[in-house]
Amino acid sequence: MGKHFEEVIFFLFVAFFVWVFLAPTGNSEISRACAPVAWTGGAVTAISRALNTSLSSKAQVATSDLNYRCELALWDFFDRPACLRANPQDPAVCNPGSTHK
């Protein structure tokens, strides 16, 4: 029983990574990589709403914030160095939330 469970978990991880890397763009790869954060947060929010607690709005905000931080961390690690190399004269372009054009 244990070996089959481990094989299923391994298959799910492989399928997840394939799904992430088959994304058409780098931004969608980042969104897909952070999808489990959104899924888990959505489940927590749904459960808190079903239980009619006052924490559902806080859970939704926390999920959104955590998902943003996940995407930002991945972007900083993978895409920011390339952005800085492409824009050496104006590194402000590579800052998240930059309104610089």
Rounded average pLDDT over 66-93? 89
Give the pTM: 0.79
Instruction: Tell whether 99 is covered by a domain.
Output: no
pLDDT per residue as tens digits for the range 36-60: 999 999 999 999 999 988 888 899 9
Instruction: Tell whether 10 is covered by a domain.
Output: yes
Full residue range of the structural domain in which residue 29 is found: 2-94
Instruction: Tell whether 36 is covered by a domain.
Output: yes
Domain count, the chain: 1
Instruction: Tell whether 59 is covered by a domain.
Output: yes
Instruction: Tell whether 21 is covered by a domain.
Output: yes
Give yes or no for a contact between 26 and 79, defined as CB atoms under 8 angstroms apart. Answer: yes
Instruction: Tell whether 38 is covered by a domain.
Output: yes
How would residue 22 be classed by pLDDT, with cut points 50, 70 and 90? very high
Instruction: Tell whether 101 is covered by a domain.
Output: no
